[in-house]
Amino acid sequence: MYYVYIIQNTDSKKLYVGYTTDLNRRLSEHNNGKKFTTSKNGKWIIIYVEAYKSENNVRTREYRIKHNGNTKKELFKRIKDCLFV
């Protein structure tokens, strides 16, 4: 399985969208400073996950969340109660 995920930094409240086949490993990488874009202070926690069978589908979904304003806006509207303010 492939997963699109959204994580949030508990200190800065910043969000990060990515995809992986192993959520636990990826979250550990984010929290241990192994990913440049999320290596800043604070703990990252998983806010949202979608599962896909195809890598092509998960990559397309991640791209749409990151680059399509309406897709991102609608998704964040749905999950707003899960986010740190």
Residue ranges of domains in the chain: 2-82
pLDDT of residue 81: 81
CATH number for the region 2-82 comes to 3.40.1440.10
Stronger pLDDT, 79 or 37, i.e. the higher one? 79
pLDDT of residue 50: 95
Looking at the predicted structure, is the pLDDT value of residue 73 above 90?
no
21-68 tens-digit pLDDT: 999 999 999 988 777 777 677 889 999 999 999 999 999 999 999 998
57-72 tens-digit pLDDT: 999 999 999 998 888 8
Own/partner long-range contacts of 40-43 (Cβ < 8 Å, ≥24 apart): 40/9, 40/12, 41/11, 41/12, 42/9, 42/10, 42/11, 42/12, 43/9, 43/10, 43/11
pLDDT of residue 52: 97
